[in-house]
């Protein structure tokens, strides 16, 4: 398969060819057995009855359009939520044994879709009847589990949905299933492809090429959106955990401002940093999903404007980015698009004058020890410490740690001498240092937004609690996607989304993987 061969252009979107046979060749590297196989039996008759021509039309619509485009066709005589959900389930069955973007399907997905169809009115909201996947560190009540990708939580069934899942349901969304992730949000192992590996789901494979990193930890959320196995997905970020996989897999992803989206029912890593956020194929869909996650009736989509960058001063973090020579073509590309959008481009620089952010690894280790493990030990009475979890995994490594636990052991060592009150102090110190560094960068460049690539500066904006959005920047020379990442000021999420939309409209750099329905 020639993965760099462009077959055609649709609505200014490039399409990257990948035939079904070629897709089946992906992921042939080291892959573990799922601890819970995906169960298609509740959907068997619906999938078998799905018309091929209808599925082809739907896939083209999903690849090219937005949720709003789809909603306009969801009428009594047009598409239905049941049809769209069945189409996605059929694609999951066809492709997900390769891509490993899901760890579990919602057995009630078609029931929820039919209920959405029955409840549809002229006033139904934009997410009504839209299938959504949810990262598996976000709690969902029975019959689904919440495992964080870890064998130790394989049978964990929360009593209630996380608040953001409740809000998705209130918006009329259909919960399609739980997305695979880098186990425990990326603190166990890198896996064979730099992210996306879990004991429960196996290792995620980037739909753009099996040799490309998926990044983590929201690898399954981004992979499912990229391969069109989900309309949209909810990921989470601690430091690049959402932005990186979205960028590496050609998606739009957003880490919202601190506190904008509820963290209730989300398995923590570093509460100071943690935030759920949207992953989508375009900025419009990301804005619609963010509105549902916020749950206050905020309409981010109506404020998107193609001229939102006109006259805006943009600070590009050039010095940091050019340290990686492979970024130079991307910088040229993003600066051309920013200029086309009317932005005033200036150089900017992030400097950690206190050296605080250089100790971020210890902070993550302490987060696992004092936050993640608190969640685990509350549900697994036989475990008390991080070291207990390491011993538990080592007792059955083929099942519990199929890709090793090198990161977990290192983090345990890094954090072994950090006591709980020191961790709390360290999080506040890191927050203050990252805010100071970002404010200095904004101030010195007089910029409305800062511009990075992929997750190069994630530990700053995530720790400070500032919002960030990544938008496709086309492909690197290797063929792997990259993303421009726009960093905004705290609380300016709506403005940042509109600026991201303006870049998207000016650049049209998105590259679609062409997987036959």
Task: Answer yes or no: are the C-beta atoms of 262 and 294 closer than 8 Å.
Answer: no
Residues in the chain: 517
pLDDT value, residue 353: 86
Task: Answer yes or no: are the C-beta atoms of 143 and 107 closer than 8 Å.
Answer: yes
Q: Please work out, in degrees rounded to the nearest 5, the angle formed at the alpha carbon of residue 182 by the alpha carbons of 179 and 188.
A: 145
pTM: 0.94
Any idea which residues carry the catalytic annotation?
135, 217, 241
Positive or negative torsion for Cα 117, 287, 335, 329? negative
- Domains of the chain, start order: 14-29+36-303 (3.90.1300.10), 313-355+428-499 (no CATH), 356-427 (no CATH)
Q: Cβ–Cβ contacts within 10 Å for residue 42, how many?
A: 15
Give per-10-residue mean pLDDT for the chain (517 aa): 24 35 45 97 98 92 96 92 98 98 98 98 96 98 98 98 98 98 97 93 96 96 98 98 98 98 98 98 98 92 98 96 95 98 97 90 96 98 98 98 97 95 96 97 97 97 98 97 98 98 98 82
d(C-alpha 309, C-alpha 307), whole Å: 6
DSSP-assigned letters across all residues of 114-147: HHHHHH--TT--TTTT-EEEEETTB---TTS---
**Taking the CA atoms of the chain, what radius of gyration do you get in angstroms?**
21
Peptide bond into 185 cis (omega under 30): no
Backbone phi, then psi, for 16, in 5-degree steps?
-95, 125
pLDDT value, residue 394: 98
Token code pair at residue 371: 């936050």
- Exposure class string for 62-88: b at 16+ Cβ within 10 A, else e: bbbbbbeebbeebeeeebbbbbbbbbb
Backbone phi, then psi, for 174, in 5-degree steps?
-100, 125
Q: What is the DSSP letter of 174?
A: E
d(C-alpha 412, C-alpha 392), whole Å: 14
Chain-centroid distance of CA 240 in Å reads 10
pLDDT value, residue 516: 65
- The three state secondary structure string of 46-87 is HHHCCCHHHHHHHHHHHHHCCHHHHHHHCCCCCCCHHHHHHH
Task: Answer yes or no: are the C-beta atoms of 485 and 385 closer than 8 Å.
Answer: no
pLDDT value, residue 9: 24
């Amino acid at each position: 398969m020639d993965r760099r061969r462009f077959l055609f252009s649709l609505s200014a979107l490039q399409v990257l060819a990948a035939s079904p046979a070629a897709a089946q060749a992906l992921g042939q590297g080291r892959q573990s057995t799922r601890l819970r196989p995906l169960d298609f039996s509740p959907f068997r008759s619906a999938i078998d009855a799905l018309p091929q021509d209808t599925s082809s039309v739907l896939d083209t619509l999903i690849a090219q359009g937005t949720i709003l485009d789809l909603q306009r066709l969801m009428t009594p005589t047009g598409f239905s939520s049941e049809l769209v959900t069945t189409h996605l389930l059929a694609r999951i069955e066809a492709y997900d044994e390769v891509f490993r973007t899901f760890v579990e399907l919602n057995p009630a997905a078609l029931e929820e879709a039919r209920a959405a169809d029955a409840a549809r009115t002229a006033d139904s909201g934009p997410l009504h009847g839209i299938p959504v996947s949810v990262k598996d560190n976000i709690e969902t009540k029975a019959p689904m589990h919440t495992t964080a990708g870890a064998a130790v939580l394989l049978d964990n069934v929360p009593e209630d949905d996380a608040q953001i899942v409740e809000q998705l349901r209130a918006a009329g969304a259909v919960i399609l299933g739980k997305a695979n992730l880098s186990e425990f949000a990326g603190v166990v192992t890198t896996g064979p492809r730099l992210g996306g590996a879990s004991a429960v789901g196996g290792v995620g494979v980037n739909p753009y090429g099996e040799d490309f990193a998926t990044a983590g930890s929201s690898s399954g959320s981004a992979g499912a959106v990229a391969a069109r196995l989900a309309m949209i997905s909810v990921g989470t970020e601690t430091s690049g955990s959402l932005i990186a996989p979205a960028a590496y897999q050609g998606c739009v992803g957003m880490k919202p401002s601190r506190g904008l989206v509820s963290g209730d029912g989300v398995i923590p890593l570093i509460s100071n940093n943690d935030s759920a956020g949207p992953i989508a194929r375009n900025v419009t869909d990301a804005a619609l999903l963010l509105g549902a996650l916020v749950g206050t009736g905020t309409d981010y989509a109506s404020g998107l404007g193609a001229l939102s960058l006109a006259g805006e001063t943009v600070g590009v973090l050039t010095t940091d980015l050019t340290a990686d020579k492979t970024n130079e073509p991307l910088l040229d590309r993003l600066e051309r698009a920013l200029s086309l959008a009317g932005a005033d481009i200036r150089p900017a620089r992030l400097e950690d004058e206190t050296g605080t952010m250089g100790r971020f690894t210890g902070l993550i280790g302490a987060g696992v020890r004092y936050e993640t493990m608190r969640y685990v030990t509350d549900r697994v009475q036989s475990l008390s410490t991080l070291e207990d979890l390491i011993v538990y995994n080592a007792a059955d490594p083929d099942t519990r740690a199929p890709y090793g636990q090198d990161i977990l052991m290192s983090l345990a060592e890094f954090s072994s001498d950090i006591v709980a009150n020191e961790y709390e102090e360290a999080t506040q110190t890191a927050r203050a240092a990252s805010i100071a560094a970002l404010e200095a960068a904004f101030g010195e460049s007089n910029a409305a937004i800062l511009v990075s690539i992929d997750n190069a500066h994630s530990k700053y904006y995530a720790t400070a609690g500032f919002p960030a959005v990544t938008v496709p920047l086309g492909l690197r020379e290797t063929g792997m996607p990259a993303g421009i990442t726009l960093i905004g000021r705290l609380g300016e999420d709506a403005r940042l989304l509109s600026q991201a939309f303006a870049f998207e409209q000016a650049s049209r750099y998105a590259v679609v993987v062409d997987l036959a329905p």
